[in-house]
Amino acid sequence: MWERRNVSAVALALMLVAGATACGDDDDDSAVTTEAATAAVEPATSTSASEPAATTTAGPAPTTAAASEPAATTIPPAVSESDRVSIRDVLDASVAAEAAGDASAFVALWTDRGLEQYSADGSGLGTREEILANGIEGGEEPPETVGDPAVTVTGDDASVTVDVVFGIGVYRIGFALVRDGVSWLIDGFEFQGGAPAPEGVPTVEVTAVDFAFGFDRDALASGEFALLFDNIGSQQHEMALFRVPDEATVADAGAALAGVDGGSYEGVPAGYEVVDHLTFAEPGESTNFTFAEPLPAGHYVFACYIPVGGFDLETGEPLVPGAEPHIARGMIADFTVG
């Protein structure tokens, strides 16, 4: 079965927040945090004369992402110290309960709507009744958080947004809470995709068509960039990142990686290394990917393993049984860092 790899499919949800929320304890109690604003996107440039021509595909002309307009900053109502502490305690308690496999303690901290969203958008734990009946496996370690969370309280509603590192990427997670007497209950969960690029990090656009990638290779040479993945094709597309031998041509890499399992990445040949699955986009959709650290020097390829005709997002099964992956149609492109 072909599986769509996405951080939202990993049952780590609530662990994403507790450590980040606690990071705010040393801040001024009266401080108001706002939702993290998307950094302005700067086109990347390179003066390297040794790199091959910028265009890596017969598709549309590659471009770097145009500078985006800064998001307007809205100052939310001040968050009281008691609310901040109570919200943090609820998130901490939920993390502890899930890590310990304590289903009763865990569901007591969530509303039914919150559990439904958490299950649908990542954990797969099910409803309150299903969690109590089946239990929680527990044992997960919380991933690293990036920066401080954005906490907003308006009356009896609160929201927490936090950026977390999973694999080599930085992703954004959101939680909604509702007041329950003197405490709070978790009322919603949302995987919001890749986090915005940090200030000063250029965003490079990668276009996907059927069946090729287009991008400015020189813009990736520094290893410090974020990606905007723009699917302008008629099929689903993804970006999987591999490190390949320095001397390998695109044809060499395509032949070597064509037999890799597109769901598990098993079968990577010697001399090649799977780095990570980066992002996925439906036709007409744009998604972004922010690296947690700059890519080290080396020779890399983007590859797409979506089966021709696409796959069912619910079952993970190809819509056309036995269809070959896009990489077999030539959807692979290389670049060099350093």
pLDDT score of 312 more than 70: yes
User: Tens of pLDDT along 287-307?
Assistant: 999 999 999 999 999 999 999
Verify that 226 and 327 share a domain, yes or no: yes
In which domain, by residue range, is 331 found? Answer: 39-69+198-337
Q: Is the peptide bond before 211 cis (omega within 30 degrees of 0)?
A: yes
Backbone φ and ψ for 292, nearest 5 degrees, come out as -70, -30
CATH number for the domain harbouring residue 188: 3.10.450.50
pLDDT score of 281 more than 70: yes
Verify that 129 and 184 share a domain, yes or no: yes
Residue 34 is assigned to a structural domain of this protein: no
For every residue of 1-32, DSSP letters joined together read ------GGGSTTTTHHHHHHHHGGGGS-TT--
* pTM greater than 0.75: no
Residue 28 is assigned to a structural domain of this protein: no
User: Tens of pLDDT along 115-170?
Assistant: 998 888 766 789 999 999 999 887 777 678 888 788 999 999 999 988 989 899 99
User: Tens of pLDDT along 73-120?
Assistant: 555 568 888 898 888 888 888 878 988 899 999 999 999 999 998 888
Residue 50 is assigned to a structural domain of this protein: yes
CATH number for the domain harbouring residue 206: 2.60.40
